[in-house]
Amino acid sequence: ISLDDLTLEEIGIPIVLENDVNLMALGEKTKGIAKNINNFVFVGERTGIGAGIIINRKLFKGANNAAGEVGYLFIDPKYAPKSIRDYGCLEKLASYKVIVEKARKKMGKNIKVIEIFKMASEGDSAALNIVQETLKYLAYGISNISCVLDPELVIIGGGISILPLRFLEEMKVNIRKIIPFVPKMEFSKLGEDGVLIGAAIMVLEPLKKKGLILINK
Mean pLDDT of the residues in the chain: 89
Determine the CATH number of domain 3-209.
Answer: 3.30.420.40
Q: How confident is the model at residue 4 (pLDDT cuts 50, 70, 90)?
A: low
Q: How confident is the model at residue 168 (pLDDT cuts 50, 70, 90)?
A: very high
Tens of pLDDT, residues 194-204: 999 999 988 88
pLDDT for residue 167 is more than 80: yes
The whole model's pTM is what? 0.88
Mean pLDDT of 156-162: 93
Give me the pLDDT at residue 209, please.
75
Tens of pLDDT, residues 32-64: 999 999 999 999 988 889 999 999 999 999 999
How many residues does the structure list for the chain?
217
| More confident site: 152 or 205 | 152
Mean pLDDT of 72-76: 88
Instruction: Give the angle subtended at the CA of 19 by the CAs of 95 and 186, to the nearest 5°.
Output: 60
69's CB contacts (< 8 A; 6+ apart) are 50, 51
Element (H, E) at 55: strand 49-55
Give me the pLDDT at residue 217, please.
55
DSSP bridge partners of 154 = 41, 185
Give me the pLDDT at residue 2, please.
63
CA atoms within 13 A on the CB side of 15: 14
Give the three-class secondary structure for 116: helix
Mean pLDDT of 120-146: 96
pLDDT for residue 5 is more than 90: no
Tens of pLDDT, residues 88-128: 689 989 999 999 999 999 999 999 999 999 999 999 999 99
Give me the pLDDT at residue 77, please.
81
Task: Name the percent of the chain lying above pLDDT 70.
Answer: 89
62's CB contacts (< 8 A; 6+ apart) are 68
> Where in the chain are the domains?
3-209
